[in-house]
Structure 1
Amino acid sequence: MEGKEGEALVFKGRGKYRSEEKKDKISAYLYISPFFIIFAIIGLYPALFSLYLAFQKWNGLGEMTYVGLQNFTIVLQDPIFWKSVYNTIVMGLMGTAPQIIIGIILAFLLNQAFLKLKNTFRAMIFMPYITSMVAVALVFGVFFSNNETSLANYILNLFGMDSVAWKTDEWGVKIAISFMVFWRWIGYNTIIYLAGLQSIPKELYEAAKIDGANIMQQFRYITIPLLKPFILLTVFFSTVGALQLFTEPTVFLGGSAFSRTEAMTVVMYLYRDAFNLQSFGTGSATAIILLVIIIIFSALNTFLTSGIGKRRRGYKS
C-alpha cells in the first residue's frame, strides 16, 4: 500500500510539473504574440494578397477577374519595364558599390589611434542617414540644377568640361540620383564597418607591426578578411535597397518622376501601374518579378563576396 501511495505522489508531482511547464510555454507565447499579430496584419496579409492580385485584373474598386499569367505577360513584354530594370541595376551599382568600398576605408581611418575628434567625424559621417529626405531633395535639387551656375556645373566648368542638364539628361539624372544614394547611405555602412573593426583584437595589429607589416598590409591581410561577415551583411542590405530604389528618384524629379523613363526604377514602375493607372494586377505581378530579381542578385552578390579572405596566406615584408 505504501508503494502505491508513493507512486501516486510521484505521478501527482510530475503532473503538477508538466502543468507548470505548459503554463510557462503559454505565457511565453502570449508575450511574443503581439509581434506576430502585427506582422500578420501589416506584413503577411498584404504579401499574400499581392500574390493573389498578381493573377487578377482589378482597378481597386470593381470586381476582380481571374486572368492567370496575363499580368506577368503584359509586364514582361513592356519595354518600359525592362528600361526600369536597367535603370535600377545601373543606379544601384553606381550608388552602392562605391559606398561599400569607401565605407571600409573611412571606417579604417576612423579607427586609427592617431585620429583626433573621432566622435565628431563619426557624427558628421552618420548625419546624412538621419537627414530628412525633404532637406536632401532641396539641397541636391540646387546642387544638380540644370542652370549653368549650379554648383555641379560650376565644378565641371573648372575642369574644362561642359555643363550637364542634370534633371533631363539620360546619364545626368542617373549620376545625380546615384550620388544622392551614396551620400545618404555611406554613413550607415561606415558605422557597421567601424563596429566590425572594433571587434578585431588589437593584438593582431601589434603582432603584424612587429613582423614588419605596414598599414596597407594590415588593411589587406587582417582588416578585410576579418570584416568579411560585416561586408556580407552590408552587401546583402545594399543589394536589396538598391533594387527597391524609389525615394531618391521620386523626390529629385518631383511630379515628372512617373512620366519619364530616364530614372524610372522597378518600384516606381510598380507604383505607377497600381496607383496612377489603377492596374493593381500588373502592379502585383511586377512586385513578384521584383522579388525574384532580388533573390537572384542577393544570391549572386553573396556568392561573389563570400570568397573574401579565403586565399589569405600571410604577407610579405
Structure 2
Amino acid sequence: MATSTTKALAGEEPPGPSRVRDGKETSRRRGAWLHRLDVKGAPYAFVAPFFVVFAAFSFYPLIYTSWISLHDVELATLDVMEWVAFDNYVDLWGDSRFWNALWNTVTIGIISTVPQLLMALGMAHLLNYRMRASLFFRVASLVPYATSVGAAALVFTMIYERDFGMINWALGTVGIDPVNWEADKWPAQVAISTIVIWRWTGYNALLYLAAMQAIPAERYEAASLDGASRWQQFTHVTVPGIRSTIVFTIVLSTIGATQLFGEPLIFGQGPNGVTGGANNQYQTLGLLLYEEGWKNYQMGRSATIAWAMFILLVLAFVTQRLIKRLRSRTS
C-alpha cells in the first residue's frame, strides 16, 4: 500500500492491463515470425551447402572452361590468353582426330552398354527369386563396382596380353591364332568394353533389382491367373514396371561412355595409352582432351573438346525428349 502511494506521488504510472497485453502481443508476433522463418528458411539453409559446393567445384569450372575455349592459351602460361573467338571450335570441326575419337567413343559405348544392361537385367531377374545365399550374391555383385579402375584395367590388360595372356591361351587350345588385342581396332575396343561391362553390370543389376521389388505382387498373381508364362510375366509385367529405371541406367551409361578415360588409358600401357594406340584406334574423347591439354599443352583446344562433349550430351538428351514427345502424340 505504501509502495503504490509512493509511486503515485512520484508521478509513475503502475503497469496496467493494456501494457501487459501489448507485451504479450509483441512476444506472440516474434514467436510467429521465428516460426515462419524456421518453416520457410530451414529448407534453403539445409540445401545451401550443396549449392555452394556445386558453384565452387562445378559451375565455376564450367564457366571458366567455356571462357578458355575462346582463347589460345597454353598450360605453361595460363595467365597469357589470346582471344580467338570460335576459331578453336572451327578447327575442332575440321580435325579428323576429333571425329575418330567421337566414333570410337560411340562404338565403345554401344559395345559396352548394350550387353552390360542386358546382363544386368537378367542378373536382377535371377536375384529377384527366393534363393539360398541371395544376400551373398547381391553383395558379391558390387565387388567389381568397388574395385578401382586402375586395378581392373591392369588385370584385364594382362588377360588380353598377346604373348602370355589368358584369352589368347584359351584361343590357342582350340586352334585359333593369337589376337593382338591392343594393336587391332575392333579387338582393342572389345577388350576395353569388357572392362566396363565387368565393373558396371553388378551395379546396374542392383538398381534393376530394387525396381523389381517395388512392383506389387498382385500384378504377377493376376498375370498367372490369366495363364501367362514366366517369360510373358517378365516381358509384360517386369520390364514395363521398371521402365523408368531402365531409362535412368541408359542415360547413366551414355554419360559414362562419353567420359570414358581410365580404362583405355591403362590398357595402352604407356605412351600409346594417351593416343589410344599407335593409330588412335581406341582413342576416346576423354583421351583426346587429355592429350591436347596435358601432352600438347593446348588448354584452349582441350577446353573446346570438353565443351563439345557437353554439347553432344545436351543434344542427345534433347533428341531423346523430342522422340518421346513425337511418339506420345502419334499414339
Name the TM tier (shorter chain): 0.7 to 0.9
Alignment partner, residue 43 of structure 1:
58
Are the counterparts in 2 of residues 107 and 191 from structure 1 also a CA contact under 8 Å? yes
Are the counterparts in 1 of residues 211 and 245 from structure 2 also a CA contact under 8 Å? yes
**SS in structure 2 of the partner of residue 57 of structure 1:** strand
Alignment pair present for 1:96 and 2:113: yes
One-letter amino acid matched to 1:172: P
Are the counterparts in 1 of residues 150 and 262 from structure 2 also a CA contact under 8 Å? no
Aligned residues: 307
In the aligned structure 1, how far is the partner of 2:133 from the partner of 2:65?
50
In the aligned structure 2, how far is the partner of 1:68 from the partner of 1:123?
51
How far did residue 18 of structure 1 move?
3.2
One-letter amino acid matched to 2:83: Y
How far did residue 6 of structure 1 move?
8.7
Alignment pair present for 1:128 and 2:144: yes
Alignment partner, residue 85 of structure 1:
102
How far did residue 24 of structure 1 move?
5.6
CA RMSD of aligned residues (A): 2.9
Alignment partner, residue 203 of structure 1:
218
Alignment pair present for 1:64 and 2:81: yes
Quick one: which of 299, 302, 310 aligns to 1:291? 310
**Is the alpha carbon distance of 1:302 and 1:194 closer, same or farther for their aligned partners in structure 2, counting shifts above 3 Å?**
farther
How far did residue 40 of structure 1 move?
1.5
How far did residue 64 of structure 1 move?
0.7
Q: Which moved more, 1:80-89 or 1:209-218?
A: 209-218
Q: Deviations over 1:74-116 (max 9, x none)?
A: 1111111110001000000000111111111110011112x32
**SS in structure 1 of the partner of residue 141 of structure 2:** helix
Alignment pair present for 1:267 and 2:282: no
One-letter amino acid matched to 1:48: I
**Is the alpha carbon distance of 1:211 and 1:83 closer, same or farther for their aligned partners in structure 2, counting shifts above 3 Å?**
same
How far did residue 44 of structure 1 move?
1.1
Alignment pair present for 1:75 and 2:92: yes
In the aligned structure 1, how far is the partner of 2:191 from the partner of 2:142?
20
Identity of aligned residues (%): 30
TM-score (norm 1): 0.87
Alignment partner, residue 128 of structure 2:
111
Q: Return the index of the structure with the highest Cα Rg.
A: 2
**SS in structure 1 of the partner of residue 108 of structure 2:** helix
Are the counterparts in 1 of residues 150 and 263 from structure 2 also a CA contact under 8 Å? no
TM-score (norm 2): 0.84
How far did residue 34 of structure 1 move?
2.3
Any gaps of 5 or more consecutive residues in structure 2? 1-16
Q: Deviations over 1:261-300 (max 9, x none)?
A: 1111111111111111111111111111111111223444
**Is the alpha carbon distance of 1:100 and 1:303 closer, same or farther for their aligned partners in structure 2, counting shifts above 3 Å?**
farther
